[in-house]
Amino acid sequence: MFESFIELSELSMGIIPLLVLLFTIALAVVIERLWFFHKVLSQGAAIERDLKRTAYRDLDGLQAVAKRFAGALQTTLVSHALASQAPDAESAERHVDESILEAVPVMDRNLWVLDTAVTLGPLLGLLGTIFGMIKTFNVLGGEGVGAGAAAVTGGIGEALVATGIGLFVAITGLIFLNYFNKRVRLGVQQLELIKLTVVNRLHGAGMKNGA
Protein backbone atom coordinates (compact mmCIF):
# COMPACT_ATOMS: atom_id res chain seq x y z
CA MET A 1 0.00 0.00 0.00
CA PHE A 2 2.70 2.42 1.05
CA GLU A 3 4.88 1.36 -1.87
CA SER A 4 2.01 1.99 -4.29
CA PHE A 5 1.52 5.46 -2.82
CA ILE A 6 5.23 6.22 -3.25
CA GLU A 7 5.09 4.97 -6.84
CA LEU A 8 2.04 7.10 -7.66
CA SER A 9 3.66 10.10 -5.94
CA GLU A 10 6.75 9.75 -8.09
CA LEU A 11 4.66 9.29 -11.22
CA SER A 12 2.72 12.51 -10.50
CA MET A 13 5.90 14.43 -9.61
CA GLY A 14 4.75 14.91 -6.02
CA ILE A 15 1.25 16.19 -6.91
CA ILE A 16 -0.61 13.37 -5.12
CA PRO A 17 1.05 14.08 -1.72
CA LEU A 18 0.19 17.74 -2.26
CA LEU A 19 -3.44 16.80 -2.88
CA VAL A 20 -3.44 14.66 0.27
CA LEU A 21 -2.07 17.64 2.22
CA LEU A 22 -4.72 19.92 0.73
CA PHE A 23 -7.45 17.45 1.67
CA THR A 24 -6.08 17.13 5.22
CA ILE A 25 -6.11 20.90 5.71
CA ALA A 26 -9.62 21.15 4.26
CA LEU A 27 -10.78 18.32 6.53
CA ALA A 28 -9.37 20.13 9.58
CA VAL A 29 -11.32 23.25 8.59
CA VAL A 30 -14.50 21.19 8.14
CA ILE A 31 -14.20 19.64 11.61
CA GLU A 32 -13.47 23.00 13.27
CA ARG A 33 -16.33 24.77 11.47
CA LEU A 34 -18.81 21.98 12.26
CA TRP A 35 -18.06 22.36 15.96
CA PHE A 36 -18.07 26.16 15.73
CA PHE A 37 -21.48 26.44 14.05
CA HIS A 38 -23.02 23.80 16.28
CA LYS A 39 -21.94 25.78 19.34
CA VAL A 40 -22.69 29.27 18.01
CA LEU A 41 -26.11 28.57 16.54
CA SER A 42 -27.17 26.64 19.65
CA GLN A 43 -26.09 29.54 21.88
CA GLY A 44 -27.86 32.00 19.59
CA ALA A 45 -31.12 30.05 19.81
CA ALA A 46 -30.89 30.06 23.62
CA ILE A 47 -30.15 33.80 23.68
CA GLU A 48 -33.12 34.47 21.38
CA ARG A 49 -35.38 32.48 23.69
CA ASP A 50 -34.25 34.30 26.84
CA LEU A 51 -34.46 37.73 25.21
CA LYS A 52 -38.05 37.10 24.14
CA ARG A 53 -38.89 36.22 27.73
CA THR A 54 -37.41 39.50 28.96
CA ALA A 55 -39.85 42.31 29.71
CA TYR A 56 -39.71 45.57 27.76
CA ARG A 57 -37.40 48.21 29.29
CA ASP A 58 -36.10 45.58 31.69
CA LEU A 59 -32.40 46.53 31.76
CA ASP A 60 -31.65 44.14 34.60
CA GLY A 61 -33.16 41.29 32.61
CA LEU A 62 -31.07 42.13 29.55
CA GLN A 63 -27.93 42.38 31.66
CA ALA A 64 -28.74 38.99 33.17
CA VAL A 65 -28.97 37.48 29.67
CA ALA A 66 -25.61 39.04 28.73
CA LYS A 67 -24.04 37.67 31.90
CA ARG A 68 -25.60 34.22 31.49
CA PHE A 69 -24.15 33.84 28.00
CA ALA A 70 -20.86 35.64 28.55
CA GLY A 71 -18.38 34.71 25.86
CA ALA A 72 -20.98 33.79 23.24
CA LEU A 73 -20.64 35.50 19.87
CA GLN A 74 -24.18 36.93 20.00
CA THR A 75 -23.75 38.31 23.52
CA THR A 76 -21.72 41.22 22.16
CA LEU A 77 -24.88 42.54 20.51
CA VAL A 78 -26.69 42.68 23.83
CA SER A 79 -23.68 44.19 25.61
CA HIS A 80 -23.17 46.88 22.96
CA ALA A 81 -26.85 47.78 22.96
CA LEU A 82 -26.79 48.20 26.74
CA ALA A 83 -23.48 50.09 26.77
CA SER A 84 -24.57 52.47 24.01
CA GLN A 85 -27.29 54.08 26.18
CA ALA A 86 -28.84 55.18 22.89
CA PRO A 87 -31.76 57.60 23.24
CA ASP A 88 -33.80 55.97 20.47
CA ALA A 89 -34.16 52.74 18.53
CA GLU A 90 -32.34 53.97 15.41
CA SER A 91 -29.25 54.94 17.39
CA ALA A 92 -29.28 51.61 19.22
CA GLU A 93 -29.52 49.73 15.91
CA ARG A 94 -26.45 51.51 14.56
CA HIS A 95 -24.43 50.47 17.61
CA VAL A 96 -25.59 46.86 17.33
CA ASP A 97 -24.90 46.79 13.56
CA GLU A 98 -21.27 47.45 14.40
CA SER A 99 -21.20 44.22 16.42
CA ILE A 100 -22.84 42.29 13.58
CA LEU A 101 -20.21 43.49 11.11
CA GLU A 102 -17.51 42.33 13.53
CA ALA A 103 -19.18 38.93 13.98
CA VAL A 104 -19.60 38.04 10.30
CA PRO A 105 -15.85 37.53 9.60
CA VAL A 106 -15.68 35.24 12.64
CA MET A 107 -18.37 33.01 11.11
CA ASP A 108 -16.76 33.17 7.68
CA ARG A 109 -13.28 32.37 9.00
CA ASN A 110 -11.17 29.82 7.06
CA LEU A 111 -13.91 29.08 4.53
CA TRP A 112 -11.52 30.40 1.89
CA VAL A 113 -9.54 27.18 2.43
CA LEU A 114 -12.50 25.12 1.19
CA ASP A 115 -13.01 27.51 -1.71
CA THR A 116 -9.34 27.07 -2.62
CA ALA A 117 -9.63 23.28 -2.39
CA VAL A 118 -12.63 23.31 -4.73
CA THR A 119 -10.73 25.33 -7.34
CA LEU A 120 -7.22 23.97 -6.88
CA GLY A 121 -8.01 20.25 -6.39
CA PRO A 122 -9.01 19.42 -10.00
CA LEU A 123 -6.23 21.62 -11.43
CA LEU A 124 -3.56 19.90 -9.35
CA GLY A 125 -5.06 16.52 -10.22
CA LEU A 126 -4.95 17.33 -13.93
CA LEU A 127 -1.36 18.53 -13.60
CA GLY A 128 -0.39 15.30 -11.84
CA THR A 129 -2.05 13.29 -14.59
CA ILE A 130 -0.15 15.23 -17.27
CA PHE A 131 3.14 14.57 -15.50
CA GLY A 132 2.25 10.89 -15.21
CA MET A 133 1.36 10.59 -18.89
CA ILE A 134 4.56 12.33 -19.93
CA LYS A 135 6.55 9.73 -17.98
CA THR A 136 4.44 6.95 -19.46
CA PHE A 137 5.01 8.07 -23.04
CA ASN A 138 8.69 8.45 -22.33
CA VAL A 139 8.65 4.72 -21.52
CA LEU A 140 6.90 4.07 -24.84
CA GLY A 141 9.46 6.13 -26.73
CA GLY A 142 12.38 4.43 -25.04
CA GLU A 143 11.27 0.79 -25.24
CA GLY A 144 9.27 0.71 -28.45
CA VAL A 145 5.59 0.11 -29.10
CA GLY A 146 5.55 -3.63 -28.55
CA ALA A 147 7.68 -3.67 -25.43
CA GLY A 148 6.01 -0.69 -23.82
CA ALA A 149 2.32 -1.26 -24.62
CA ALA A 150 1.50 -2.89 -21.26
CA ALA A 151 3.51 -0.29 -19.39
CA VAL A 152 1.70 2.49 -21.25
CA THR A 153 -1.75 1.08 -20.44
CA GLY A 154 -0.93 0.65 -16.77
CA GLY A 155 0.88 3.98 -16.65
CA ILE A 156 -2.09 5.92 -18.02
CA GLY A 157 -4.37 4.27 -15.44
CA GLU A 158 -1.99 5.22 -12.65
CA ALA A 159 -1.66 8.76 -13.99
CA LEU A 160 -5.44 9.22 -13.90
CA VAL A 161 -5.41 8.53 -10.16
CA ALA A 162 -4.23 12.11 -9.60
CA THR A 163 -7.25 13.49 -11.46
CA GLY A 164 -9.56 11.24 -9.44
CA ILE A 165 -8.06 12.42 -6.15
CA GLY A 166 -8.29 16.04 -7.27
CA LEU A 167 -11.96 15.66 -8.15
CA PHE A 168 -12.64 13.93 -4.81
CA VAL A 169 -11.03 16.84 -2.94
CA ALA A 170 -13.05 19.36 -4.95
CA ILE A 171 -16.39 17.54 -4.54
CA THR A 172 -15.90 17.13 -0.80
CA GLY A 173 -14.87 20.76 -0.44
CA LEU A 174 -17.84 21.98 -2.48
CA ILE A 175 -20.37 20.05 -0.41
CA PHE A 176 -19.10 21.45 2.87
CA LEU A 177 -18.51 24.95 1.46
CA ASN A 178 -22.17 25.18 0.42
CA TYR A 179 -23.24 23.79 3.79
CA PHE A 180 -21.16 26.33 5.73
CA ASN A 181 -22.29 29.20 3.52
CA LYS A 182 -25.83 28.24 4.53
CA ARG A 183 -24.73 28.20 8.19
CA VAL A 184 -23.25 31.70 7.78
CA ARG A 185 -26.54 32.98 6.34
CA LEU A 186 -28.46 31.41 9.22
CA GLY A 187 -26.01 32.94 11.67
CA VAL A 188 -26.42 36.42 10.17
CA GLN A 189 -30.21 36.00 10.22
CA GLN A 190 -29.95 34.99 13.87
CA LEU A 191 -27.85 38.07 14.65
CA GLU A 192 -30.40 40.31 12.93
CA LEU A 193 -33.24 38.75 14.92
CA ILE A 194 -31.33 39.19 18.19
CA LYS A 195 -30.63 42.81 17.24
CA LEU A 196 -34.31 43.54 16.65
CA THR A 197 -35.30 41.76 19.86
CA VAL A 198 -32.78 43.69 21.96
CA VAL A 199 -33.68 47.05 20.40
CA ASN A 200 -37.39 46.35 20.90
CA ARG A 201 -36.80 45.43 24.54
CA LEU A 202 -34.86 48.65 25.05
CA HIS A 203 -37.02 51.03 23.00
CA GLY A 204 -40.30 49.23 22.40
CA ALA A 205 -42.70 52.08 21.68
CA GLY A 206 -45.99 51.76 23.53
CA MET A 207 -45.00 48.52 25.25
CA LYS A 208 -43.94 49.72 28.66
CA ASN A 209 -47.03 48.35 30.29
CA GLY A 210 -47.67 45.50 27.89
CA ALA A 211 -44.90 43.14 28.96
Cα four-point dihedral sign 17, 23, 26, 27: negative
User: 10 Å Cβ neighbour count for 87?
Assistant: 9
- Residue 190, C-beta contacts closer than 8 angstroms, at least 6 positions apart: 41, 44, 45, 48, 74
Prediction pTM value: 0.81
Q: Where are the domains of the chain?
A: 2-203
- Residue-by-residue pLDDT tens, the chain, 211 positions: 666 667 666 666 778 889 999 999 999 999 999 999 999 999 999 999 999 888 888 888 889 998 999 888 888 888 888 888 777 888 888 888 888 898 899 999 999 999 999 999 999 988 888 887 877 777 666 655 554 555 556 667 777 888 899 999 999 999 999 999 999 999 999 999 998 888 888 877 544 444 3
